[in-house]
A and B are shown apart, each in its own frame.
Chain A
């Protein structure tokens, strides 16, 4: 085994090493999706591209928002805005576990000193109509990644099967850098002329968003926007495939899916505002899932989805 590289010194160095590691393994390194999502899986490069027969290999950082996890920047581990690093390989390679373990070495985890474990964790996203089998990966008792073989997305069987990795970047980085409170973590190099900690960048925003998420967001407006996004998604998908202007066949799977992402995020905000009851929750999740399924159906008709040309 190659010798473990020198330990990284900052949050961004860990991201850079992951990007370069997966880039070396042939992944296209994408940029984050420009919408609010609850998890990196929502990026269309995962959700939609896991469907259909075409091979795919991407890695990207995705900022995620989980309004209910806001703690005003006080909790050492919980944030309403955080980063995931996402890898999707289709078909999943036979040595996917080994490749993953290699990425841990790359970010400075010495495999001879730590206890890495694959603990059963079946992944299911009720809002995406998706499920897969896999594990949460533990390093010395801490969950550092999700490892999933997608079986279904948007209600469709995946064939070939995609292997998905999700690294919770803050938690992983805190572990590697030996930091106890996320806000104390060096974001850039600690010896830079302007050293910035995670807290210098995000403490204030965590506080602001926590207040807005929990107590201020206009729920009546959000409810309206949820309905709007849902209606727009449906309307997009109802358009005939033939574009009257260009005469081309253009199924608008991605614009429709954007509305599905939007509805999902608005639902999360409503949830944080505490205005959704347990049973209503199920109904909302069902509505988002219906959108996700419709988008998946549409994507499978497109060229990228391997559909009829």
Chain B
């Protein structure tokens, strides 16, 4: 993922409000970048621009080489973008459709992308001349996980998935009963991966706790098999013990699938736990950027130092005035 000079100006008096000011960063496949900042730093606006819910005033962003600076045109492109980048929101109480069980929510996404893939495969079959062995950007994260590297882009990158049953492998899979079976397998696998029981997977969100809902949201995001997952304060609203469970889960998922994370958080400890690199935002500008350890252990900027110094740790005392 590559972001160049991303800028967002909200219209208003006096030339508007510059919420994000020329932010640039790179994220390698399988990497984990923390975007740190206090309220009003523009971190959520960046997330909304990345996922296309907000348009950028200037700058460019691309995932796996595909530009996403402009709004998606057509269903196929929307779907393709969805398979590149997904998001988990902060509030597990409003980020799920209240009338959908976990199972239904994940299955809906699987169907949606399977249908899109089948359509693409048909189109592909009709224009056989187009080679599939060209430089496939999605194979990059796959390499990180080993055994299935270099395979079809739509194939599950998880080593424990049975890649032969994936619908896209044969172009003539339309309405194939194997489709349904493969989807079912994948559904169980996703629910299992995020640690939801059979019973929870049938429950409506209102009967689930905050942590369980967040698991559902993660499963739904993973169902699109994205290369990058944005975690927008995804553990901030959870109880401490639940937060630890979800953090462990996220570490496991990354280790297992080679997915890349962008973690948006105000919590430096959470960023340290999950991320390799980090950037510190203040009033829409990048103050400091680099490896997570460097920034937290040897902050170069006063602001970063102040941020770090304000975190209560063992032995910390409140500042005296």
Whether both chains belong to one complex is answered with: no
